[in-house]
Copies of this chain bind each other. A is one copy, B any other.
Amino acid sequence: LKKKVAISIGDPNGVGLQLILENHTKVCEVCDPIYFVNQNILQQAATLLNIHIPNNINLFETIGEFEIKPGEVCKDAGLYSYNSFLDAINYVKENKADAITTLPINKESWSKANIHYVGHTDMLRDVFQEDAIMMLGCEKMYVSLFTEHMPLSKVTSSLSLEKLEKFLLDLKKSLPNVNEKIAVLGLNPHAGDNGVLGNEEEIIIQAILNANKKLGKQIFEGPLVPDIAFTPRVRSQYKYFVAMYHDQGLAPLKALYFDEGINVSLNLPILRTSVDHGTAFDIAYKNINQLSNLSYLNAINYCI
């Protein structure tokens, strides 16, 4: 039996519905998808895109009625993408599907609809009241983020032994099938260079020691020198990396594997994966045949 994947459509004014319609056949090869969109909205998109709606499509008819406005920031579309995601969450919570794959929402549209989450992960944290872990990457390399969406000035003070140790243990618990070493990056240039460029690496060393001790295994290694961690030689040694902050991990990841990347929410009662691109308003409904689908298909494949 194929796994069932709940797919929230993201912002209807963006590229989500085109990705769904163009890739339905491929998606059906690996899972049994259910899309969180009603017939009317889907038909509007199909008409705009001049693509037939496949016969075998399975919909959860998320309520909402409005006109799709290609590429526009819009309250109605924002609210609808929120409801599509919320319906998908509840569906998976009730064990009617195995995992969620989300298509991109527009944060400004959410804001216009008075939804004040920074994004999907933030909403999941609130719904489940758990410390979700954000992991991005692809088959070749995954980066999980110890801190995420915060000003750079707050990063250093957010690092504590207790928090990092918990993060490492939560991460390992969320990756039960991963038995290889996981690389933990330093915080400072040259990983502090023995304290000359910062001493927060002492906290990182201790957190690694504590986590490994509790796991009874040398799972975590580090702290790695951040600007060396993603060179070819080091990448050949590790597939999983822990970055201390957003751009430390994501700038190298996206430099290397932009098109293929996905976003995985770990440490939650449900599994959620996502494409690692935005709504692409600039190309939505613009008669582009076959959007790049690597990220979308990888996101679904991770669920399987």
Contacts and interface: CB of A to CB of B under 8 A. Distances in A.
A205 to B, nearest CB: 16
A149 B193 CA distance: 10
Contacts of A188: 151-152
A302 interface: no
Contacts of A65: none
A168 to B, nearest CB: 20
A256 interface: yes
Interface in A174-207: 187-190, 192-193, 196-198, 200
Interface in A244-276: 245-248, 250-256, 258
A251 B254 contact: no
Contacts of A252: 230, 251-252, 255
A155 interface: yes
B197 A150 contact: yes
Most buried by B among A190, A232, A247: A247
Interface string A208-242: 00000000000000000011111111010000000
A153 interface: yes
Given A149-B189, A152-B245, A189-B246, 8 more contacts: A149-B197, A150-B197, A152-B198, A153-B198, A226-B251, A227-B247, A232-B258, A255-B255
30 contacts: A148-B189, A149-B189, A149-B196, A150-B189, A150-B197, A151-B192, A151-B198, A152-B155, A152-B156, A152-B189, A152-B200, A152-B245, A153-B157, A153-B198, A226-B247, A227-B247, A227-B250, A227-B251, A228-B254, A230-B251, A230-B254, A230-B255, A231-B254, A231-B258, A232-B258, A235-B255, A247-B248, A248-B248, A252-B255, A256-B256
Interface of A: 118, 148-153, 155-157, 187-190, 192-193, 196-198, 200, 226-233, 235, 245-248, 250-256, 258
